[in-house]
Structure 1
Amino acid sequence: MNNVPVWGWILLIALIGVGWKCLFLITRAFPFNSDEAITGLMARHILQGERPIFFYGQAYMGSLDAFLSAGLFALLGESILPIRIVQTILYTCTIITTAFIGRKLTDDWKVGLLGSLFVAIPTVNVTLYTTVSLGGYGEALLFANLAFLIVFYMADCGRLDITKDIVLFGLLAFVTGVGFWAFGISLSGTLPASIYGLILIWRRWRKKRAIFAGFLIAFLVFFIIGSFPWWLAGLNAGIGIQLRELAGSAVSIEKGNWILRTGSHLFNFIFLGLPAVFGFRPPWEIRWLVLPLLPFVLFGWGLVFWRFPSEFKKVNQPYRERWLVLLGSMLLLAAGFLFTSFGLDPSGRYFLPLVVPFSLIAAHIIISAPISSSIRSIVIILLLSFHGIGTVQAAMKNPPGITTQFDPVSWIDHQYDQELMVFLRENDEGYGYSNYWVAYPLAFQSGEELIFPPRLPYHTDFRYTTRDDRIPAYTLRVENSSKTAYITTFNPDLDTALRSGFERLDVTWQEKVIGDYHIYFDLSRPVHPSELNPELQQQPGIGDP
């Protein structure tokens, strides 16, 4: 290591991270699902002049990801690849900043470099959600890292320097604000960093209250500037609505009292979430990965967390405070999962911000452990191999591949998409209805020629939410169309209901199966879901406009 400059190692690790993602992109391990398609559609609409503030249908997640994708669309054209290049760039920046954070935490580049290497070849959960766009996870990771770095640089400024303090504190506020708009989960990192920054400013300027008050005002101003789109939307829709969205109202379908809900979230956190975080299982299903190595990795992580408290006691100031910022981010994330409706989703996506703290904790323990260099190397290789083999093992089971969807009814084999689009065009079936997992990939890949808004349920029990209909303009176009077709997937009961409804309405039709897609076409007249409510009565109002 002494013969290679630090920047050389950082560059090498970043290239390893990029190469690792490229391996799975080239092999098409990631299916193109509806959430990612919406990012692409938003990016296309941005290039056409629209300026959305939030991810379509999710007012807790800003449109920054779509704007970044639109920028690459302008350079590379509209396809799936630019969306994923954006995620790769964001995550590469996260890898690089992790190295600097490790250095600031321990005054040791070895910890930073090893931590960034663990981030470069992470678990399948992290690989998935930092490659496929879901609206803001990559940005949330990067903004948290930037906030950590900024406040740690503030801590390094020993003497009073109002210019440097105001620049760094204002930058911290701006990063926190942009992250707040892009995705509220970034607050798990930016909020502890901001609190630490405020403590630092108080220590330095508490005797000059006017100046300290100026810092507070500056922080508020720069935070509002960074999060301005959020406040603009709040003025139009209501701040209360925005805050409820931020707290998880979009996924709030729980019943029972607060204690039972929190207990359920705790179960999800311990028995489903953490195994996904550590790479013991893929986030979309319950099956063990790399079973021969799993006991050793489990034992190793146990040693890491058993040893960390004793190592933490040895840490001197100012490094102890910096570790507390990182630990605070972990606790805040856990609290957010336990006490909000986001605790319903144990897939692993909401635990993504743990990757940097866990990687740096592991790196610190491995580097500081009183073991020989050969044993240290074996431990590092073991953990990286576990991450790598687990990701490859998950990718080899395709479908579903490395997927964001944890409900098997949404595991659509998209290799038939082109054949589906050819069939629909040849039969002049450009408009109709389908479910959420069909509608938006079809719209994006067809250049919005094939419009099938999600007015049908994908759940086999016919559960449905109108929030699935993310682009109301699509529905209006279909309602005014002279022809409609229907596309279903993995839902025999829905197929039966559609046939019964068509017969009741004296409508004739034809059927075609292409891969996982079941198409009802050549209807003798347009039929809209509101006309099929008697057959879909398990979900009243499913066809309401």
Structure 2
Amino acid sequence: MAALTVDSARSDDARSRAIGRFHPATILTALCVTLGVLYRFLALLWSVPPTNSDEATMGLAAIHISKAENFPAFFYGQNYMGTLEAYLAAPIFALFGPSVISLRIPNLLLFGSFLVIMWRLIDQLYRSCWFTLLVVGILALGSDRILKNQMISGGGYPEINPAGAGLMLLAVGLAANRYRHRSAAFAAWGFIAGLMIWVDPLVLPYILCAGAVLAIFAKKEIIWSGGALLAGGTLIGAAPLIAHSISSRINPISVLLNLSGSSEASPWVDHLYGGVIFGIPMGMGFCAPSECTPWQLWWGLSFPLLLLVAAIATLASIRHQEGIQKVASVAHLGLLIGAALTILAYVRSSAAADTPVESARYLSCLLISLPAALWPLWQSLQRRAIVWRVASATILAATAISTLVATAGVVAIAPDMRDLAQQRDNMIAQLEQLDVTHVYSEYWTCNNITFATNENIVCAVIDEGNLSPGLNRYLPHLEAVQDSSDPAYVLPVDSPANPLVTQLMSTSQAVPTVVNVPGYHIYLSSN
């Protein structure tokens, strides 16, 4: 009887796929995927969003890997945030040389895979081509915050969304018995989970929820061969983390606990505002660059309410379901719980209260749960009561319009971002023309210089308040500049360190030579 049910399910799936390929909504969904990738490719060519020193640090790791000089497990200067992005970019660097474009190409591919995975996951859970089109269309858009998360190789963010969605898709496929090669699927699930445990703990709520789907529907296999494959895949994926922990004798669990600790310095109202009211719309792409206007904050109130309504409705109906329908409902509930756990962890952190604008990136995984939150609204469109249909249609339209407006906002300032990138490139070209090989600068300029010149110019970070050594993530660069006999200083024109450098480099006989380029001052010793 079980085999008959599985065969029937497979036959229904095959028929649905055959019909779905030619459905107008399916064609439009494919167009949305294409346009979403094209939008980000054009942004990449336009240097949008601008690169930063964190991304340059990942680029330096990729340079070292491509030259087989170093194989870092984690972001230079810390014991967390795996360097998967550097390993993905290293082969491209080896073939074409280091550049921001080469560093971001893997991220573009990861985003494309995220849209395709979400397309497949939504189709399997909700069986609605038009709903799939709506969600994929929203995900294809991209505000300033979303583009930063998806395109900048700053550590973890481009990978976690396709990985989290992929784990749930694999779990649903295994639970519904959709895979012929189940052993490979179990091993793949473990490997991806292990990779993400190494790369970024932000995706842990979704690993747990996807794992719960497996535990509920494939528990017999997990006890035997499936469990061994899961464990083996996880160990292989997390091997860099394990090796680093053994060699450095640093407990990764203690590192994780320190990262997720709560803050007592800020009142809880600041945590709730920064983590929910402001954080959710900013983190999910509903806001303008670096700010949320009051009207854009509506999503911060609506999203948690939608999660709650969807969870209550699912719990009320799930006990009466069987087979694939129950698998879909449990996975749907898992997406809701994953979002709730992500929000809870972020609200507890000091970042939600202290640095809500930049720290909203910690909520990037909530995009995986967007279809689960919107599904009750879509279902309400089928109800007879006009009030429910109007309310649901209004919220769905507002969701799409808000993300579209936020996307238009980043497109509008793209020329300004390109100008900033051009200023930085001109400054680096000037340094090369002056034959400068060693410089001091502030953090957000320094590693950009070293990465852009393939370490031909080495930069060390200084504290802008007193010119002492700052946050130097890669200490050999600091040592090289300190050993240099005649280092230059490079500072943005608005840096508070400019008068300090002038004073430091001035003597009774001579003053430093200052070369001014748009956006920067270059200080050269007169010796």
Q: TM-score range by the shorter chain?
A: 0.7 to 0.9
Q: Which amino acid in 2 is paired with 1:246?
A: L
Normalising by structure 2, what TM-score?
0.82
Q: Deviations over 1:249-307 (max 9, x none)?
A: 4x98x9746xx57664333202331231354433x633429x6xx59978986985575
Q: What's 1:246 paired with?
A: 256
Q: What's 1:335 paired with?
A: 344
Q: Which amino acid in 2 is paired with 1:193?
A: A
Structure 1 counterpart of 2:491, from 464, 488, 491: 488
CA distance in 1, matches of 2:28, 2:506: 68
Deviates most, 35-44 or 502-511? 502-511
Displacement after TM superposition at 1:77 (Å): 3.7
Question: Map of 1:380-391 to 2, 5 A cutoff?
Answer: 383-391=399-407
Question: Map of 1:383-532 to 2, 5 A cutoff?
Answer: 383-397=399-413, 401=417, 413-457=420-464, 466=470, 468-491=471-494, 493-503=496-506, 508-524=511-527
- 8 Å CA contact 2:175, 2:213 repeated in 1: no
CA distance in 1, matches of 2:218, 2:248: 35
CA distance in 2, matches of 1:463, 1:233: 33
Q: Is it true that 1:41 corresponds to 2:60 in the alignment? A: yes
Displacement after TM superposition at 1:97 (Å): 0.6
CA distance in 1, matches of 2:268, 2:300: 26
- 8 Å CA contact 1:115, 1:363 repeated in 2: no
Q: What's 1:17 paired with?
A: 36
- 8 Å CA contact 1:54, 1:61 repeated in 2: yes
CA distance in 2, matches of 1:436, 1:508: 25
- 8 Å CA contact 2:377, 2:392 repeated in 1: no
Q: What's 1:319 paired with?
A: 328
Q: Which amino acid in 2 is paired with 1:235?
A: I
- 8 Å CA contact 2:172, 2:328 repeated in 1: no
Q: Using a 3 Å threshold, how does the CA distance of structure 1 residues 215 and 18 change in structure 2: closer, same or farther?
A: closer
Q: Using a 3 Å threshold, how does the CA distance of structure 1 residues 71 and 215 change in structure 2: closer, same or farther?
A: same
Q: Which amino acid in 2 is paired with 1:54?
A: F
CA distance in 2, matches of 1:325, 1:33: 35
Structure 2 counterpart of 1:106, from 126, 134, 147: 126
SS in 1 for 2:458: coil
CA distance in 2, matches of 1:142, 1:479: 42
Deviates most, 171-180 or 110-119? 110-119
Displacement after TM superposition at 1:99 (Å): 1.3
Normalising by structure 1, what TM-score?
0.79
Displacement after TM superposition at 1:507 (Å): 6.8
- 8 Å CA contact 1:433, 1:485 repeated in 2: yes
SS in 2 for 1:138: helix
CA distance in 1, matches of 2:272, 2:466: 29
Displacement after TM superposition at 1:359 (Å): 3.8
- 8 Å CA contact 2:103, 2:153 repeated in 1: yes
Q: Is it true that 1:236 corresponds to 2:247 in the alignment? A: yes
- 8 Å CA contact 2:43, 2:49 repeated in 1: yes
Q: Deviations over 1:139-163 (max 9, x none)?
A: 11111111101111121029xx9x9
Q: Deviations over 1:373-430 (max 9, x none)?
A: 999888766543432332222342368649xxxxxxxxx9332223322332333322
Q: Using a 3 Å threshold, how does the CA distance of structure 1 residues 185 and 92 change in structure 2: closer, same or farther?
A: same
Structure 1 counterpart of 2:105, from 85, 109, 114: 85
- 8 Å CA contact 1:248, 1:340 repeated in 2: no
Q: What's 1:350 paired with?
A: 362
Displacement after TM superposition at 1:54 (Å): 1.4
Q: Using a 3 Å threshold, how does the CA distance of structure 1 residues 155 and 2 change in structure 2: closer, same or farther?
A: closer
SS in 1 for 2:515: strand
Structure 2 counterpart of 1:65, from 85, 99, 120: 85
- 8 Å CA contact 2:45, 2:101 repeated in 1: no
Q: What's 1:266 paired with?
A: 272
CA distance in 1, matches of 2:53, 2:156: 15
SS in 1 for 2:91: helix
Q: Is it true that 1:4 corresponds to 2:4 in the alignment? A: no
Q: Using a 3 Å threshold, how does the CA distance of structure 1 residues 91 and 46 change in structure 2: closer, same or farther?
A: same
Q: Using a 3 Å threshold, how does the CA distance of structure 1 residues 501 and 522 change in structure 2: closer, same or farther?
A: closer
CA distance in 1, matches of 2:127, 2:21: 19
CA distance in 2, matches of 1:286, 1:128: 14
Q: Deviations over 1:176-201 (max 9, x none)?
A: 10111122212121122113322333
SS in 2 for 1:61: coil
CA distance in 1, matches of 2:143, 2:409: 11
Q: Which amino acid in 2 is paired with 1:175?
A: I
CA distance in 1, matches of 2:170, 2:116: 14
SS in 2 for 1:519: strand
CA distance in 2, matches of 1:427, 1:167: 56
Structure 2 counterpart of 1:212, from 213, 218, 223: 223
- 8 Å CA contact 1:394, 1:401 repeated in 2: no
Displacement after TM superposition at 1:522 (Å): 2.3
Structure 2 unaligned blocks of 5 or more: 1-18
Q: What's 2:13 paired with?
A: none
Displacement after TM superposition at 1:125 (Å): 2.4
Deviates most, 225-234 or 509-518? 509-518
Identity of aligned residues (%): 20
CA distance in 2, matches of 1:377, 1:76: 49
Q: Using a 3 Å threshold, how does the CA distance of structure 1 residues 110 and 16 change in structure 2: closer, same or farther?
A: same
Q: Which amino acid in 2 is paired with 1:108?
A: S
- 8 Å CA contact 1:172, 1:194 repeated in 2: no
SS in 2 for 1:32: coil
Q: Deviations over 1:206-238 (max 9, x none)?
A: xxxxx8265544433321111000000001112
Q: What's 2:189 paired with?
A: 172
Q: Which amino acid in 2 is paired with 1:426?
A: Q
- 8 Å CA contact 2:466, 2:500 repeated in 1: no
Q: Using a 3 Å threshold, how does the CA distance of structure 1 residues 177 and 288 change in structure 2: closer, same or farther?
A: same
CA distance in 1, matches of 2:304, 2:215: 34
- 8 Å CA contact 1:21, 1:88 repeated in 2: yes
Q: What's 2:217 paired with?
A: 200
Structure 1 unaligned blocks of 5 or more: 206-210, 403-411, 525-545
Deviates most, 229-238 or 473-482? 473-482
Structure 1 counterpart of 2:49, from 4, 27, 30: 30
How many correspondences in the alignment? Answer: 493
CA distance in 1, matches of 2:297, 2:192: 40
Displacement after TM superposition at 1:171 (Å): 2.5
Q: Which amino acid in 1 is paired with 2:340?
A: L
Q: Using a 3 Å threshold, how does the CA distance of structure 1 residues 33 and 13 change in structure 2: closer, same or farther?
A: same
SS in 1 for 2:461: coil
Displacement after TM superposition at 1:521 (Å): 0.8
CA distance in 1, matches of 2:21, 2:234: 43
- 8 Å CA contact 1:31, 1:400 repeated in 2: no
- 8 Å CA contact 2:515, 2:522 repeated in 1: yes
